[in-house]
Amino acid sequence: MLNSASARAHTNIALAKYWGKRDEELIIPMNSSLSLTLDHFYTDTQVTFDDSLTADFFELDNRILPATKLTPFLDLVRQKAGIKTFATVKSFNHVPNQAGLASSASAYAALAAAASKAAGLELTRPELSRLARRGSGSASRSIYGGFVEWQEGHDDLTSVAVPIEEETDWKIGMLAIILNAGVKKIASRAGMQHVVKTSPYYPAWVKESQADINALKQAIANRDFTQLGEISESNALRMHALNLAARPPFSYFEASTIRAITMIEELRAQGVSCYYTMDAGPNVKVLCQEEDLPTIKAYLAPAFGTENLLFARPGQGVKFLEGDLHG
């Protein structure tokens, strides 16, 4: 066979985070999470199943990389489709590598869509979400646009993302402040595993997370930006508190992270409604309303440089692309 398909998926940033697995193999989380898909950052991926190949091949941004991480994921697709054919995976990441934005979310969501289609499967979006979840938990949410909830569920069938508001007309977005171009110190998989095992606050985190999701959903329904921001910021800090309370402790904060956070708090004290969130890295993302963007940028630019301030609006769910990818 020689079957090819391409797909585009956008990345997402969690407002109520996923940080810990109940099942490492199936990637069933300890708690549900809620995110915003972003328009500006995405991955395009083409998968070609080709009978003449003797192994899987992977090319990212025109550079050949080992396919070791992709093969177990492609095996899931092959198993579902009842084929044994190897594949070439060609990806272009439009998530600035250094942005500390979760490129694994857009990467696995695009891969799930392209690989399943190329293998002859016609998966529904819930099925695509469950498949993407097996690559990276946060990828389950990137199947949908706008506000998305990944419902924790209890097994492979029930742990799936659902859209809350796919096409939102709310003029909000995320301003990513790029603080550090380096690779993250502790991969999310290892970080979350460690806190589940050793952080005494972990049970409280799980217990409180559903209340945050409920409050966020209410904020979205009421277009209450203050509530959306306050809950998101507090949820992010609780996640990072788990890391500080682990044994041994660890942290994704750097000096520049604290500087950025302090500046967001200063802006807020001046009456600008903006809130921060952080993931498994030092970079800070500012949740804000579009009307405040010029003020926020003007305040942050002297400290971090305009080129390190990247704004994204709510983005779309995964979609298939026609023809071959050329970057």
Note the residues at the interface with ligand PMV (CB under 6 A). 14, 17-19, 33, 102, 104, 136-138, 188-189, 279-280
> How many angstroms separate the CA atoms of 255 and 167, rounded?
37
Among the listed residues 95, 19, 16, 11, the one whose alpha carbon sits nearest the alpha carbon of residue 277: 16
Token pair 């594949």: residue: 87
Among the listed residues 225, 109, 212, the one whose alpha carbon sits nearest the alpha carbon of residue 160: 109
**Would you tell me how many other CB atoms lie within 10 Å of the CB of residue 295?**
15
Kindly tell me which of 48 and 209 has the beta carbon lying closer to ligand PMV. 209
CB of 35 to ligand PMV, least distance (A): 6
Kindly tell me which of 14 and 179 has the beta carbon lying closer to ligand PMV. 14
CB of 291 to ligand PMV, least distance (A): 27
Q: Can you say whether the dihedral through the CA atoms of 110, 111, 117, 118 is positive or negative?
A: positive
Token pair 């996640």: residue: 239
CB of 324 to ligand PMV, least distance (A): 29
Contact assessment for residue 185 and residue 303, using Cβ atoms and an 8 Å cutoff: no
> How many angstroms separate the CA atoms of 67 and 44, rounded?
17
Rg (CA), the chain: 19
CB of 140 to ligand PMV, least distance (A): 8
CB of 235 to ligand PMV, least distance (A): 10
CB of 189 to ligand PMV, least distance (A): 6
Kindly tell me which of 34 and 115 has the beta carbon lying closer to ligand PMV. 34
Kindly tell me which of 37 and 46 has the beta carbon lying closer to ligand PMV. 37
Kindly tell me which of 106 and 308 has the beta carbon lying closer to ligand PMV. 106
> How many angstroms separate the CA atoms of 158 and 29, rounded?
11
Kindly tell me which of 212 and 292 has the beta carbon lying closer to ligand PMV. 212
H helix or E strand, kind and range, residue 15: strand 2-16
